[in-house]
Structure 1
């Protein structure tokens, strides 16, 4: 282990990179201010989304944009200050969401998603984390036949192009799988490929424990500076310095700000999200992950209770929480499933790290030898962490990765 790498960020992406580099015989130090899996990776919906071959585009039709303006929707909310601060990347996001550009982005993005199960699988096995994972897919529920039929047509295209497996369920077939649903729900898409995780933070922690058990080092400390000294890198923390041959920037929504100190300007922005856990009114039992597709929230049977996760909130990364979106989602959720009392003292808040073309940056920094980038995974950092680690480890070893990495290079910005 003559080569030493420091990975900054202990979320799903950073932990996965550290794990894969260690598998290649590289000495790795993983750094974060918090324990592994306690930031963005802690609060997501816990789905390894093999079906998510299409990223979320910016709304382009006038009707949808008008419906967002009153700022009362469950799936998307905004604050004016945050929108103004991120005006340039958001405009670029809208630009990349045009039909012509989006058609080019989808197969590039899908090439990553298609690796998610085959890269999570070995890590789950090595971590002994099978008890956290279910392989029964999840349910995307609908209220109107027209929207279900439209989604079923999209699913057929995804199956033909990207081998996505699904079933269309009418109301009775849905109730056979998931009883106790409200009368408004008339059918669903059952996505068959994805795996679901009953405690996302615990899965990241299990991956990190596997990394440590094989000789990896975790430093929990505030990073103060990252500087290049001739052929090496020096990472200064509140507890001292670590010198390494390579540094990997995997700090999620904080990556863009950190990279400014090294002269890079990436058009990063965040989509914030909230969650809350609930008890269930007996004898009802939530057996599947449910997304209320026409409203825009998700219910998940987690170890900590029924987790309700919200859609996107466009605001500054560190702005105070606003539970209005969560409260609106809770009101809608109570009408379709018998939730009981809240189990958390306060809502959890996190931020998804986004880039305007909906694809992450994965690969070498353009102007600094030994600096590697892995951020901007949007809604799918939890899904794509192991695939990112696998691909980046190949790149750092000088090998040809399993897919074309040109669409994810930093030079595109």
Structure 2
């Protein structure tokens, strides 16, 4: 089988890339070991985070780092056994999170975020997936006045610098918005711009259906079988092989299984995350996506039930699940919202691929023709799928890219 392009990885980044190429008339084969959308893209808070111009940094305050070291929080957990293998990543992650460097990174990162809603909207409309989208933002609620005031100041800065919009909520306004939420909160902040996805897997599948409608093909295959040919690339997939001039590596935290054999070394860490779905007690209803800011968990009214999501777990990518953060979060969440029974047999776990400078790797491989990279999107894979796919597709087809992607170039890791 031959095609113009092969995309390796059928998460939201790979699916979006394949779709954007197909929209430009290219014949594309999308290859993954599983059905599309079943890995990291499946489990997230379901937000298209237009406000997320500042990537999540490593704590800089010594006291806060000590509190994290106690390893008893919801928003972060780590495996002692993994620390030696992730220490280099964490050290550079901490270094890049310095206030000055972090602000420079945010300015380079913001153009991707700024186009997140518009590029999703194009695909949502073409895929007929409007019923999966809520356009009413999301809310942080605060337990202390200090946290409230600090977050409001930061929101005002982001509004002034990046044009994001928000509204401050009083306790009575929180109660009006979420009447089944407890009165534990002194105030809130509602981000107005983001969209919410009621079922991230269903959205990914809607994009896949549009991709196939445009002539794209989805095959199960082994990305590690990728090899160079005289005219391009070959991979074992389906009942044989697929050859194409261009190949895009969009394998998220598994991208190293392809990049390392080709001589590329990216310092990519993994932040694992968990979720669980719940019913509600009685007629209780959660109206919108809500984060308990001090505790670090999310409650999201998904089609599958109320999704409770945790923060980051620093562990080896393929280590067994340790869903202690779900247990901690559930215990707290039940005191502020009438969660019902668990709807999943066990907590879901996924692995977010993270670079130490908090920006994804997007662009052409420096030492191979026809090889492209699109991974390392950390917490914003769902948010940045369509815009990443668009700029990669534009670069492959020789168009002017929507934004300057030089800040995300692979050369920053591989000269």
Q: TM-score range by the shorter chain?
A: over 0.9
- Give the CA RMSD over aligned residues: 1.1
**In 2, distance between residues paired with 1:246 and 1:238?**
18
- Residue in 1 that maps onto 2:333: 333
Deviates more, 1:99-108 or 1:311-320: 99-108
- Residue in 2 that maps onto 1:280: 280
Q: Matched residue of 2:233: which SS?
A: strand
Q: Matched residue of 2:313: which SS?
A: strand
1:42-81 superposed matches below 5 A: 42-81=42-81
Q: Matched residue of 1:244: which SS?
A: strand
1:365 aligns with 2:365: yes
TM-score of the superposition, structure 1-length normalised?
A: 0.98
Report if aligned partners of 1:12, 1:385 keep a CA contact under 8 Å in 2: yes
1:95 aligns with 2:85: no
Q: 1:147 to 1:318 in 2, by over 3 A?
A: same
- Residue in 2 that maps onto 1:261: 261
- Residue in 1 that maps onto 2:382: 382
Shift of residue 275, structure 1, vs aligned partner: 0.5
1:301 aligns with 2:323: no
Report if aligned partners of 1:224, 1:238 keep a CA contact under 8 Å in 2: no
Deviations 1:284-338 (A, max 9, x none): 1000001111110100001111000000000011100012111001111111111
- Residue in 1 that maps onto 2:247: 247
| Structure 1 unaligned regions, length at least 5 | none
- Residue in 2 that maps onto 1:319: 319
**In 1, distance between residues paired with 2:84 and 2:331?**
30
Shift of residue 238, structure 1, vs aligned partner: 6.8
1:3-402 superposed matches below 5 A: 4-237=4-237, 239-402=239-402
Shift of residue 247, structure 1, vs aligned partner: 0.4
**In 1, distance between residues paired with 2:280 and 2:8?**
39
Count of matched residue pairs: 412
Report if aligned partners of 1:223, 1:238 keep a CA contact under 8 Å in 2: no
Shift of residue 221, structure 1, vs aligned partner: 2.8
Report if aligned partners of 1:363, 1:409 keep a CA contact under 8 Å in 2: yes
**In 2, distance between residues paired with 1:212 and 1:169?**
44
Shift of residue 282, structure 1, vs aligned partner: 1.4
Q: Matched residue of 2:226: which SS?
A: strand
Report if aligned partners of 1:222, 1:238 keep a CA contact under 8 Å in 2: no
| Structure 2 unaligned regions, length at least 5 | none
Shift of residue 231, structure 1, vs aligned partner: 2.3
Shift of residue 18, structure 1, vs aligned partner: 0.5
Report if aligned partners of 2:3, 2:242 keep a CA contact under 8 Å in 1: no
Shift of residue 76, structure 1, vs aligned partner: 0.2
Shift of residue 3, structure 1, vs aligned partner: 6.2
Report if aligned partners of 1:224, 1:237 keep a CA contact under 8 Å in 2: no
**In 2, distance between residues paired with 1:181 and 1:187?**
12
**In 1, distance between residues paired with 2:24 and 2:81?**
45
Deviations 1:39-89 (A, max 9, x none): 111111100000101000111110111001111011000002222111111
Report if aligned partners of 2:278, 2:307 keep a CA contact under 8 Å in 1: yes
Q: Matched residue of 1:335: which SS?
A: helix
Shift of residue 269, structure 1, vs aligned partner: 1.0
**In 2, distance between residues paired with 1:202 and 1:146?**
39
1:396-411 superposed matches below 5 A: 396-411=396-411
**In 2, distance between residues paired with 1:154 and 1:61?**
17
